[in-house]
Structure 1
């Protein structure tokens, strides 16, 4: 009897030990993940500032008459893609910062809407190309149009000429979105963050030069003191107009995508639905990656596995297939 009792006690203890050690040698189980995500910003991986799930995507002008812009430094993610005339335009995504002036605001294109859908973002824009406006209407996308029905949430400034003088405030955009009944469910994005990122396999990349077109280039320089990249446009350090501070970010993602001009005005189609080659730059290093569109979100992958971003801001440069990127 005593032997059976001892055997039962040993078996029970073994079962408890196995239950507690079931994840040894594996990544943390799903029970631990929600607690981490709930306390982190979905786009930066930093401690949560804003528990409201709403994300704003603001179309920001990058014409030379629109520089320096205001508020790009507040964005969690910024995409830079060619528009017409070989000039890029920014799609700036805001979540952790919900107040402050941003602009100049410019019109939207359909491929930017593809990015907004993946993040369920409210799009702030100044009109748009015909196909983009049709998509907004047909799909009922959440948006605030600064030159039509939602102009009360935007204003014109006197120190710039139209169309480079339309501005807004993030707090006004949140107010406008709420007044239109826009609500967003909590996000579960396919992004991962870690302090070291993916730099174990990287090559030195403290200077980055990107050519979109023979008439336009940009770049980044790594500042080891700030542990961030500093942005340059056409060879000049890009700063915020209001603060004068340089624009910095922890991650720079450069990806190649198919571009196609489909009309005489120079409007483009940009294919962001599939995958392609690129580089992820972080901590002064370059990591060759494949980008993939997963659930509407562009993510960097290596051997099919999503690689980690360094907690902080991310800028994504979407270049044509014949665009150039060099680093050293």
Structure 2
């Protein structure tokens, strides 16, 4: 009897504990549901370069970083957290990236590479702090004249910029986000100058997107397949994945793929500008473009609006799908018809 009494008391205590735990568990699930529901509603703040909502302030300066795209520099670090990436020819048939960070803060970015003058203009248009390691003659002159707030690895190699031991120069220069902030504060840069927002589509407009089927897109830079950008639309994710030379573009450190909501392809005049395949690129005149969103492609125009390269449709700025954007700037000759291939599933 004494054993049965002890067992009964133990059961009662267990039931009591469970009854207290049940409300706690229910409360947790309720909080999760409320948080999930809240994410689907309009939030009080919006990041200017992605259109993604936030519960806290989205103010803050953008950082525009020159990223190496030489095969020995792949996979790169930090690209998966960039709000927008511009891909352009740096020299010869070699492309280089300008990765702009504002909504997310990458732990490490690189390999960081040298500047060209047209990248400086794009960075300036977004009111960003420009990060590079080296420069062309024209870019050096612009930086020396104070064209844009900048931090360069030529001056801070081994301090703000670190050399990775698993790659060889010039494909091994990296900078952390903490060091971007540290250098900016040291140089007295304004860290609260928020870039002007892009135009973004509302949810209903995103669902109603139309255009030519474009679940696959290939963007070639001349005949060099090593620098051909390929995009494949993942219907389950509702985003594009990027491939380069047949390999998925991923983050070196996290192995996360680059996932994109907008692919903006523009053709611009490219003219020779010196030895080594350097060139001038006309960022001002406007021209033909393609905008890929949610597996669809539409023909647009590009215009330079206050230093920003934007898509226009029927005379008005075309809205972007909230999320991340990749911009391919290609030579006008051969232009989009000769450089871009679209396919449906």
TM-score, shorter chain, exceeding 0.5? yes
Quote the residue 1:66 is aligned against: 73
Over residues 115-162 of structure 1, what are the superposed CA-to-partner deviations in whole Å (9 max), with x where a residue is unaligned? Answer: 011111101100100110101121341000012147521100000010
The correspondence for 2:180, drawn from 151, 173, 177, is: 173
Quote the residue 1:192 is aligned against: 200
- Find the structure with the greater CA-based Rg: 2
SS at match of 2:219: strand
CA contact 2:118–2:281 (8 Å) conserved in 1? yes
SS at match of 2:291: strand
Over residues 23-52 of structure 1, what are the superposed CA-to-partner deviations in whole Å (9 max), with x where a residue is unaligned? Answer: xxxxxxxxxxxxx89710000000136634
1:285 aligns with 2:285: no
Unaligned runs of 5+ in 2: 1-41
CA contact 2:59–2:193 (8 Å) conserved in 1? no
Quote the residue 1:112 is aligned against: 119
CA contact 2:267–2:330 (8 Å) conserved in 1? yes
The correspondence for 2:63, drawn from 56, 78, 89, is: 56
1:239-254 equivalent positions in 2, closer than 5 A: 239-254=250-265
Over 6 Å off, 4+ runs: none
Over residues 203-260 of structure 1, what are the superposed CA-to-partner deviations in whole Å (9 max), with x where a residue is unaligned? Answer: 1100001111101311100001111000011222111111112211111001101111
- State the alpha-carbon separation in 2 of the partners of residues 38 and 271 from structure 1: 38
Quote the residue 1:31 is aligned against: none
Unaligned runs of 5+ in 1: 1-35
Tell me: CA distance 1:199–1:253, structure 2 relative to 1, closer, same or farther (3 Å). Answer: farther
Pairwise CA distance, 1:275: 0.8
Quote the residue 1:232 is aligned against: 243
How many residue pairs match? The answer is 293
Q: RMSD of the alignment, in Å? A: 1.8
CA contact 1:145–1:151 (8 Å) conserved in 2? no
Tell me: CA distance 1:105–1:293, structure 2 relative to 1, closer, same or farther (3 Å). Answer: same
Over residues 258-311 of structure 1, what are the superposed CA-to-partner deviations in whole Å (9 max), with x where a residue is unaligned? Answer: 111111221111111121101100100001100111111111111110111110
1:325 aligns with 2:340: yes
1:13-28 equivalent positions in 2, closer than 5 A: none
- State the alpha-carbon separation in 1 of the partners of residues 180 and 57 from structure 2: 15
Q: Which has the higher helix share?
A: 2
Quote the residue 1:203 is aligned against: 212
Task: Compare 217-226 and 149-158 and name the one that shifted more.
Answer: 149-158
The correspondence for 2:110, drawn from 103, 113, 124, is: 103
